[in-house]
Structure 1
Amino acid sequence: MSDAVDTVRNAWSRERPDVDNWPVGVVGRTQRLARVLEDELQSFFRQFGLDTGEVDVLFTLRRSGAPYGLMPTQLVKTLMVTSGAVTKRINRLEARKFVERIPDTLDRRIVQVRLTKQGLAMVDRIFAPHIANEARLLEGLDRDKLDQLADLLRTLLQSLGDTPRR
């Protein structure tokens, strides 16, 4: 059974038989998979009036532990997006009363972004269904193969310099 990436590889093999295009099989499928998964997750979160960027902020704050707050610079490092992107997400979530900015008692220029009660309730409401949705998206492979895939992807990411951010 072939897919769109096979079609691309076959076309390149015809046009440039002198180049072994095997990497397209991995990179092309990884890129396509990322787009499909992003679309599916975006569709899921839209049911709750959120987008994936906003959910990233909410989930990151929730897993930080009580009192569920982080400095904006910590969010930037964890989410691997620009400070401008984080600011926009925080502004949208603050307008919806899901997060609040808590000024530092000693230096009011320093703030912590913290989940509100409404934000915590939203995260706790959508987290289990979100995990169930992710499981649904992975139904094409059995658990052993998925565990192998997770290990292989971790190894590949590490080889490319991806390390945990704190």
Structure 2
Amino acid sequence: MSELTNRDAVDAITAQWNAVRPELDVSPMGIFGRIYRITRAMGEEMDRTYARYGISRGEFDVVATLRRSGEPYTLSPRQLSATLMLTTGGMTGRLDKLEKAGLLCRKPDPHDRRGLQVTITEKGLALIDEAVVAGLEVQHRALAGLTEEEAGQLTGLLRKLLAGV
């Protein structure tokens, strides 16, 4: 496919900027515009996927963090907040909803009288194991247009970009 036939909306935006402000290097708009559009489109797709399990993307993140922490699938609210880059207030709301749904439980920390431990329930474990597979199916479909080598290159480039910001 030639460069001209493979143009997208972001190319149109950068071309407009080039036409009205030719002295500007607008090439970063091409990269970040596409990252933003991919993030938005994939976020919406993941929202729809996780909604089938009765959870939001943010709630998925909480239960998935407990699951991937390994047995006994228990973390403190502070550890969860740090991992997910959430305020404690934001975390409390998610934990309340997930506990009400029976996907996790909060118990006093036996090693800290003031602390709590959050543990995934059997119901939560079963749900997250299904939801993570469904989410990965969506992500694999989105990457289907790339070869394995291209996906590896993209991973490396995005890692390098992330380290720079």
TM-score (norm 1): 0.91
1:89-108 C-alpha deviation (Å, 9 max, x unpaired): 11110110101111022544
* Regions of 4+ moved over 4 Å: none
**Unpaired stretches in structure 2, ≥5 consecutive residues:** 1-5
**Corresponding position of 2:108:** 103
In 2, Cα distance between the equivalents of 1:61 and 1:107?
A: 20
Aligned pair partner of 2:18 in 6, 13, 16: 13
**What is the aligned partner in structure 2 of residue 144 from structure 1?**
149
Q: Secondary structure in 2 aligned to 1:76? A: helix
Q: How does 1:115-154 map to 2 (within 5 A)?
A: 115-154=120-159
What fraction of aligned residue pairs are identical, expressed as a percent? 41
* Superposition pairs of residues 5-154 of structure 1, within 5 angstroms: 5-154=10-159
Q: Over residues 93-134 of structure 1, what are the superposed CA-to-partner deviations in whole Å (9 max), with x where a residue is unaligned?
A: 011010111102254420011101111111122222322221
- The secondary structure found in structure 1 opposite 2:114 is coil
2:117 counterpart letter in structure 1: Q
- Shift, 1:155, TM fit: 1.2
CA-to-aligned-CA distance 1:42-87 (integer Å, 9 cap, x gap): 1111111111000000110000011101111111111122222211
Aligned residues: 160
CA distance in 2, matches of 1:19, 1:143: 35
Moved more, 92-101 or 75-84: 75-84
| DSSP-derived class of the 2:106 partner | strand
Cα contact 2:106–2:117 (8 A) shared by 1: yes
Normalised to the residue count of structure 2, the TM-score between the two structures is 0.91
In 1, the alpha carbon distance for the partners of 2:28 and 2:98 equals 40
Q: Tell me which of 3, 8, 16 is aligned to 1:3.
A: 8
Match of 2:3 in 1: none
Structure 1 stretch displaced more, 57-66 or 2-11:
2-11
C-alpha distance in 1, partners of 2:163/2:100? 37
Give unmatched runs, 5+ long, in structure 1. Answer: 161-166
